[in-house]
Amino acid sequence: MRLKEIQRTAHQAWSPAGHHPIHLALGTSAQQLDASFNTTAALEIFEVDFSDPSLEMQLKGSLPTTNRLHSIVWVNFGMGADGTGGRLVGGSENGTLTVYNPEVIMSARADADAVVGQSDKHTGPIRALDFNPFQSNLLASGANDSEIYIWDLNNFSSPMTPGAKTQPAEDISVVSWNRQVQHILASASPSGKAVVWDLRKNEPIIKISDHSNRMHCSGMLWHPEVATQLVLASEDDRLPVIQMWDLRFATSPLKVLENHTRGILSISWSQADPELLLSSAKDNRILCWNPNTAEVIYELPTANQWCFDVQWCPRNPALLSAASFDGRITVYSVMGGSLKAQQQSTADKISSSFDTMDPFGTGQVLPPLQVPQSTLQDTIVPPLKKPPKWVRRPVGASFAFGGKLITFENPKQAPVQSPQPVPRQVFMSQVTTETEFLQRSRELQAALQSGSFNNYCQAKIQNAKSDAEQDIWKFLLVNFEDEARIKFLRLLGFSKDDLDKKVAHNGHGVDLPRESYLACNHSLCPSFEDTDGLISQALLVGNFEGAVDLCLNDGRYAEAILLSISGGEELLKKTQQKYLSKQKNSISMLISSVVTQNWRDIVQSCELDNWKEALAALLTYAHPEEFARLCDTLGGRLEHEKTEKRCLQACLCYICSGNIEKLVECWASQRESSTPLGLEDLVEKVMMLRKSIERLRNSEVAVQSPILAEKLTCYAGILAAEGSLGTAMTYLPENTDQVRSTFCNPTTKPPKRIGLLHLDCNKYSGSNKQLYAPCPSPGFLPHQPFHQPQPMLIGGPSAFSPPGPPMSAANLSGPPLQPSSSTPGGMPPMPSPGVPPTSFMPTTSIPSGPMPPSSQPGAPVPMYPGGLHSQGPAPPMASGPYVPMGSGYPQGGPGAPAVKPFPAPAVAPPPTGKWSLCIQKVPDNYTPPAPITAPVMGFPVEAPQPHDHAQVPPGAPQEPSVQVGINAHNKCKRLVFVFFPLVSPQLLQQLPAERVEQKEIPAEHMVLKSTFDSLVQRCQLAARDPQTKRKLDDAAKRLGFLYDKLREQSLSHNILNGLHEISRCVASQNYQRGLEVHTQVVSSSNFSEISAFMPILKVVMTIANKLGV
Amino acid sequence: MVSVINTVDTSHEDMIHDAQMDYYGTRLATCSSDRTVKIFDVRNGGQILVADLRGHEGPVWQVAWAHPMFGNILASCSYDRKVIIWKEDNGSWDKMYEYTGHESSVNSVCWGPYEFGLILACGSSDGAISLLTFTGDQQWDVKKISNAHTIGCNAVSWAPAVVPGSLIDQPSGQKPNYVKRFVSGGCDNLVKLWKEEDGQWKEDQKLEAHSDWVRDVGWAPSIGLPTSTIASCSQDGRVFIWTCDDPAGNTWTPELLHKFNDVVWHVSWSITGNILAVSGGDNKVTLWKESMDGRWACISDVSKGQGAVSTITDTQQTEQ
């Protein structure tokens, strides 16, 4: 279809293929005069700009010439790297050959001459011009009298000839360089003879001549790709054909292209597609041939005029220009299209031109141009019938989901008639660019699956690139080991053993509070001199107040405090106050914190440079319930400093507290985690920390953290993009369950591929509701922290009947437990609302109420190294105070004497409020840890009140049956305890063995336990004021020491007898008598033997007496 | 590493022009100068011919899978000026719609993001771009941008359904007000951006850098960043990466990825938008990746589906 048009009668030359933008040079034609009969001549250059949809071409430069042209070419020679310039060469009617610089013409510079060379060698009109496609400085020209010259544009003055002139002399109408062999030139004359010259031999090598003698050669072109083939076009109306010759069979044409009805004026062979040959003829048609098949594949819609020159555009293969005798140069596209809009604009253009122009000088205005509208309607120009080569995409590469690359290629040159069909293959490839990332991801995955976390962490420590990195991995490793707290301390530079040694040597000389405390313990041996004697006696009779007073007066604060611990809260508080009011030295604050357990002050006010000490103190003293929060506070302060060092230290704090979310945030704030490897760094740590917590709690840990979800999604995205789809799925945060499920059912809702999840992640991070939308698929457990444990609440604060043994099996084989499921059916432990609240009144199996947080000032200083994060194999929470300590309890933790004064308390999950714990399932590869002291417990979700922390009941059931209990010891607090005995077969097998190892309270002394426990429980039920309750709670714990001693059978006969006597008194509710017996026992026994429990027994009996239970 | 995991022998009788995997990577659609479209099930490294779709009367240039939420739908475009939308029903593929509104070869088809429904952009050598929107009941609404690219449009590619720059501040729960946008490249050497305003398609931007036909354009998938990225390749051998940080989408900056010695036919972004596959003349396929400092480097030369992958180093970058 027509694209551009201009009114000129001219010869045309396209700018070379490398030239940009495309220009068209027009030199006034010598053959005919235009409508104006103007005799001037000019060389004009137009820009063909297709971003301008109009038919106009913009004139870029013009140069008046003295001669009209018979031929013009635009040569690569001298073209700049920027794709501009070159040389225009024009052959004139008088034999002058002129070389122009088109840049000068276009810039219209006055200082430079546009004509860079001129020669009058030819004696007649130069009709033939062609430049060598290999050496752009070589130009061939042909004129009359058989003149052919080869010009070197570098040395323009002396042309050479290809050989002796052919005889008889005749006009040269065409010259053409071979497209494959650079020293071959062909010339043709109107007589129809073509001569092929070899410039190396300087002679003609072959002559082609049609014996019909009717060929009147108007055009000759070499095949663009086949070196031995050329076409000749005949201008003779009697033989309006194109002959295709092959020099190897030069006796007759290979093919004859017949379709034109009158003589052919011009031909042009597309260099972009050899199957496209243009011809224009005196039958007013422009045809496009496939010369290989000799068929016409296209006919251009042309005006009814002869075209004396057609030319393909070298740069844009779909374009051609045609110069017609009616004075138009038209640019066409062979790709078809619609002419409607353009024709309209052309018509407007023409009529407007004529309105203002008076071409004939008549002084009359032309009548309005009648443009028939109907013809404008549907001028749809079809494209070439045969798709040209340049639109046939031969190669392609497309990415697909999962880092796959789909590629195909086609043989560059399709064999002409190959017997073997070309294999048409498509390759599907996996692209992996992050080799190290994948390798490390595989290692992590292997560790996660095999559970060899220790080895993994060890390897990480060894290969750590920085100390900070190494520290982090050491801390992470410790989480997997026993006595984690102690080891944390060691990592912080506080070795208990070393200290113990120092203590042994130096006595009181060490300035750490813990050491002085230890020292006091060690030096406590009764002697009977002066004050010492008095104190001892006071102690032995249970007169704590007296003993403390004695000590204080003597300046023996340590003893005073130590004693007051055993003497009850009030005494202790009083003593502490006295002491602290007197002490004003540098470590008093630390001591104060230790004693009053006000760790919040420490973490909030300590110098950050002393973070190690602060963390060490926390590790040693902080109550498990507070520990995590305190660690986080400390970490938060460190993180707030925003330096890299501090943030890494903060990371250590978060590792100690097990706060994955904060770890991720802190890490991400300091380290690059958007690159694959940076992300891998982070994910490795998170997964290890998570695993250690899971291992500790024996349940899967769900972290509701948008930032972690985002990071994991990115991580999974990279994995997916690298082709590790399976692994990627395992990392996808649960909120993307919808993504997973839509893998199965893509039609229901818009599925997303993992690779696109970044977006979703971002989208959802603002809205938790969306994030944790319930997942309909039972296969996936959504972690829904907001879900209430509905079934349990049905029963309210009453009680549940033990669901019974079948539960354990169900837990193993059935669907994963969903304690947080909102559907009652999904909750295996069914509530029994009908059971009256009293049914859980004191029994032996539920010995006492829950232990309150024992963090009030004045309570004995609990030390928890080996607490929350520490118990290696056995989930420590399972070990209530009444259960004999297994090996999991750190024997001789810091400050622990032979007697264990502070048993590992039952621990709640870190009350950060950001955690939700659900028992999901027993991992298939889960191996029960060795010392099982009680059924493994899981922590259900929190009760509605956010300040309520799920707590562990203090008494662990003796038999591995399911017990669900709700204790209503405090009306405003509803603590929900759920025991899920995740008893695997292996575990069941192990249990008997455990019992053997674990000493039972001898049968004869069991009565002591049951009596005292029930006494405490009765008191708890009856007690009203908080202080009494606290005392009782404390009692429930401290009685554990008694039971420990009973198990160890370390109590003397005397004491045992006394205890049994007390027990009988208690059973008969004769507390007065009991107290008397108590005094007797105390006064007659070794203090160290009884100090752990006798005072509390007295307290309990006093309360019981008061309450009258 | 680029390693062949499956070689599909398509048995096409002529040149293959396009091969596209479906959303899940389980099916492969190919099209060829033999006028056919073939669909293969390629799961587990196999190749089962699922369908051999005949209906075009010329070489089929491109195929495009619709998002699976609409069913199994494939669009194909051909030199025969037709666009055919094929749909699978009960395991058999049939014509769902045939669009004959172009006057020349239809060179490119691309489905819009699923958020916009079933909408197909088609670019043709007649210079126009058509937008076909499924309105239900077998009805398709057609909008046509005439003379989008003089002498022909070679490629169309949709923008992801995100509003650049406003992504982070997106009010939650509110359906974002996406603007439909796509990019096209044509024989006028231009890359053009189009956007829909009040139901009308308007030229938004005109990006000029290429000195020859723009053969392909690819709008990179959004990776959650406020930057929009477009790759364009050309007959002139150049590949440009266009980026726009401007929330209004008005300022596009070109960066020359590379100048090849031959025509570059095709660009394709990886799903995560971080790797660009460039396929050019001489059957040359190269993979490009942006380094940390924002420079593009060739990481792989792929031949017959195989290739090594190099990490981006400084030396390599200076060589580029």
Q: Which helix (H) or strand (E) holds A475?
A: helix A467-478
d(CA A299, CA A272): 19
Nearest to B19 among A381, A426, A751 (CB): A426
Tell me the CATH number for domain A1003-1107.
Answer: 1.20.940.10
8 A C-beta contact, residue B153 and residue B129: yes
- Ranges of beta strands (E only) in B146-305 are 153-158, 181-186, 190-197, 200-208, 214-219, 228-234, 238-244, 253-259, 264-269, 275-280, 284-290, 296-302
Burial string for B114-148 (b: 16+ CB within 10 Å, else e) reads beeebbbbbbbbbbbbbbbbbeeeeebeeebbebb
- What pLDDT score does A505 carry? 57
B222 with A759: Cβ contact below 8 A? yes
Whether the pLDDT of residue A574 is over 80: the answer is no
Phi/psi-derived region of residue A381, left when phi > 0, alpha when psi is between -120 and 50, beta in every other case? beta
Exposed / middle / buried, residue A1019 (Cβ in 10 Å: 0-12, 13-18, 19+): buried
Question: Which among B103, B151, B152 has the least Cβ separation from residue A380?
Answer: B103
The shortest C-alpha distance from B68 to chain A (Å) reads 6
Cα dihedral A12/A18/A20/A21 (nearest 10): 30
Do A624 and A951 touch, CB atoms closer than 8 A? Answer: no
What's the alpha-carbon Rg for chain A, to the nearest Å?
Answer: 51
DSSP state letters, A1075-1104: HHHHHHHHHTS-HHHHTTTHHHHHHHHHHH
- Output the six-digit token pair for A244: 């295709």
Residue of B90, B194, B110, B195 whose CA lies nearest to B154 = B110
Q: Are B12 and B52 in contact (CB under 8 A)?
A: no
The helix (H) or strand (E) run that includes residue B27 is strand B27-32
Model confidence at A805: pLDDT above 70: no
pLDDT band at A438 (very low <50, low <70, confident <90, very high): confident
Task: Determine the Cα–Cα distance for residues A522 and A508; give it in Å rounded to an integer.
Answer: 10
Note the pLDDT tens digit of each residue in A852-905: 444 444 444 445 544 444 433 333 343 333 433 333 333 333 333 333 333 333
What is residue A596's predicted lDDT score, i.e. its pLDDT?
A: 63
From chain B, pick out residues whose CB is under 8 angstroms from the CB of A412.
282-283
Query: Are the beta carbons of B266 and A767 separated by less than 8 Å?
Result: no
pLDDT for A739 beyond 50: no
Nearest-CA neighbor of A173 among A232, A253, A120, A259? A232
Q: Cβ separation of A400 and B20 shorter than 8 Å? A: yes
Nearest to A635 by CA among A612, A624, A617, A625: A612
DSSP assigned state of A445: H
Angstrom distance (rounded) from CA A244 to CA A292: 9
For residue A66, give both structure tokens: 């003295």
And the tokens for A349? 């253009």
For residue A960, say if its preceding peptide bond is cis, omega within 30 degrees of 0: no
CB atoms B151 and A319 under 8 Å: yes
Domain extents in chain A: 395-430, 1003-1107
pLDDT-derived band of residue A414, with 50, 70 and 90 as boundaries? Answer: low
Within an 8 Å CB–CB cutoff, is residue B187 touching chain A?
Answer: yes
Please report the residues numbered 241 through 260 in chain B whose beta carbons come closer than 8 angstroms to any beta carbon of chain A.
Answer: none
Classify the complex by whether its ipTM is higher than 0.90, answering yes or no: yes
- Measured between beta carbons, which residues in chain A are less than 8 angstroms from residue B9? 423-425
What pLDDT sits at residue A269? 93
Residues of A in contact with B279 (CB under 8 A): 395-397, 407
User: Residue B166: helix, strand or coil by DSSP?
Assistant: coil
Q: Which of B11, B16, B303 to mutate to test the interface with A (most CBs of A within 10 A)?
A: B16
Residues of A in contact with B18 (CB under 8 A): 393, 396, 398
pTM, to two decimals: 0.64
Closest by CA to A210, choosing from A197, A194, A230, is A194
* Residue A973 CB neighbours (<10 A): 17
> How far away is chain B from the Cα of A341, in angstroms, using its nearest Cα?
9
Can you tell me the distance from the alpha carbon of B242 to that of B228, in angstroms, rounded to the nearest whole number?
Answer: 8
CA distances from B33 to A271, B14, B58, B122 (A): 21, 5, 7, 19
Which of A795, A740, A738, A794 has its CA nearest to residue A764?
A738
pLDDT at residue number B81:
92
Considering only the beta carbons, identify the residue of B21, B125, B168 that sits closest to A335.
Answer: B125
Nearest to A163 by CA among A184, A182, A144: A184
How buried is residue B251: exposed, middle or buried, by Cβ count under 10 Å (0-12/13-18/19+)? exposed
Question: Cα–Cα distance between B59 and A784 in angstroms, integer?
Answer: 55
Cβ-in-10-Å burial (0-12, 13-18, 19+) of A432 comes to middle
For residue B263 the two structure tokens come to: 């025509």
The closest alpha carbon to B291, from B307, B315, B268, B265, belongs to B315
Task: For residues A351-358, give the mean pLDDT.
Answer: 50
Contacts of A335 in chain B (CB under 8 A): 104-105, 125-126, 151-152
pLDDT at B68: 92
Tokens representing A972?
A: 């405003």
Lowest mean pLDDT among A691-695, A698-702, A727-731: A698-702
Of A336, A717, A763, which has the smallest distance from its Cβ to B104's Cβ? A336
What per-residue string of b and e applies to B39-51 under the rule 16 or more CB within 10 Å gives b? bbebeeeebeebb
Instruction: Check residue A817 and give its pLDDT.
Output: 38
The CA radius of gyration of chain B, in Å to the nearest whole number, is 19
CB contact (8 A) between residue A429 and residue B114:
no
Distance from CA of A135 to the nearest CA of B (A): 19
Sort out which chain B residues have CB atoms less than 8 A from A749's CB and list them.
69
- Provide, as residue numbers in chain B, all residues whose Cβ is less than 8 Å from the Cβ of A381: 103
Q: What does the block give as tokens for B108?
A: 């490119």
Q: Please indicate if any CB of chain A lies within 8 Å of the CB of B44.
A: no
- The angle subtended at Cα A225 by Cα A220 and Cα A231, nearest 5°, is 20
Provide the residue count of chain B: 320
Contact A767 B172 (CB under 8 A): yes
Q: Which residue has the higher pLDDT, B36 or A908?
A: B36
Identify all chain A residues contacting B42, using CB atoms and an 8 Å cutoff: 428
Q: Other C-beta atoms within 10 Å of B172: how many?
A: 12
User: Given CB atoms, is A744 within the 8 Å cutoff of chain B?
Assistant: no
| Segment holding B4, helix H or strand E | strand B2-9
The chain B residue lying nearest A388, using CA atoms, is: B79
**C-beta separation of B181 from B204 below 8 A:** yes
**Burial per residue of A341-375, b for 16 or more beta-carbon CB atoms within 10 angstroms, e otherwise:** ebbeebbeeeeeeeeeeeeeeeeeeeeeeeeeeee
Please compute the mean of the pLDDT values over residues A702-718 and round it to a whole number: 78
Average pLDDT, chain A: 69
Question: Does the beta carbon of B125 lie under 8 angstroms from any beta carbon of chain A?
Answer: yes
Torsion over CA of A512, A513, A518 and A519, rounded to 10 degrees?
Answer: 70
pLDDT of residue A947: 41
Residue A750 sits at the chain B interface (C-beta within 8 Å): yes
Q: For A448-467, give the DSSP string.
A: HHHT-HHHHHHHHHHH-SSH
Strand, helix or coil for residue A910: coil
Question: What type of residue sits at position B210?
Answer: H
- CA–CA separation, B60 and B31 (whole Å): 6
B298 neighbors B287 (Cβ within 8 angstroms): yes
Q: Is B268 on the interface with A (CB under 8 A)?
A: yes
| Distance separating alpha carbons of residues A813 and A796, to the nearest angstrom | 29
Q: How far is A407 from chain B (nearest CA, A)?
A: 6
- The alpha-carbon gap from B132 to the nearest alpha carbon of chain A, in Å, equals 19
Minimum mean pLDDT range among A540-549, A612-621, A629-638, B219-228: A540-549
**A243-266 burial by CB neighbour count: b if 16+ within 10 A, else e?**
bbbbbeebeebbbebebbebbbbb
On the 0-12 / 13-18 / 19+ scale of CB atoms within 10 A, A586 is exposed
- Determine which of A380-389, A1008-1017, B107-116 has the lowest per-residue pLDDT on average: A380-389
Cβ of residue A678 closer than 8 Å to a chain B Cβ: no
CA dist., res. A216 & res. B27, Å (int): 60
> Could you report the per-residue pLDDT of B75-86, keeping only the tens digit for each?
999 999 999 999
Residue of A nearest to B73 (CA): A747
* Residue B292 binned pLDDT confidence (cut-offs 50, 70, 90): confident
d(C-alpha A741, C-alpha A738), whole Å = 5
Phi, psi (rounded to 5 degrees) for A786 = -90, -5
- State how beta strands A115-119 and A97-100 pair: antiparallel
The residue that leads in pLDDT, B8 or A942, is B8
Distance from CA of A761 to the nearest CA of B (A): 9
For residue range A740-799, list pLDDT tens digits in order. 433 333 344 444 454 443 333 333 333 333 333 333 333 333 343 343 333 333 333 333
Residue B272 distance to chain A (closest CA, Å): 6
Give, rounded to a whole angstrom, the gap between the first and last alpha carbons of chain B: 20
Pick A437 or A815 by higher pLDDT: A437
- Confidence tier at A1010 by pLDDT (50, 70, 90): confident
Q: Could you write out the DSSP letters of every residue in A268-296?
A: EE-SS-TT-EEEEETTS-EEEEETTTTEE
Residue A996: pLDDT above 90?
no
Among A222-236, A579-593, A646-660, the range scoring the smallest mean pLDDT is: A579-593
- Contact of A707 with chain B, judged by CB distance below 8 Å, is answered with no
Q: Report residue A669: phi and psi, to 5°.
A: -75, -25
What was the pLDDT predicted at B265? 95
CB contacts < 8 A, A to B, total: 290
Q: Are A77 and A101 in contact (CB under 8 A)?
A: no
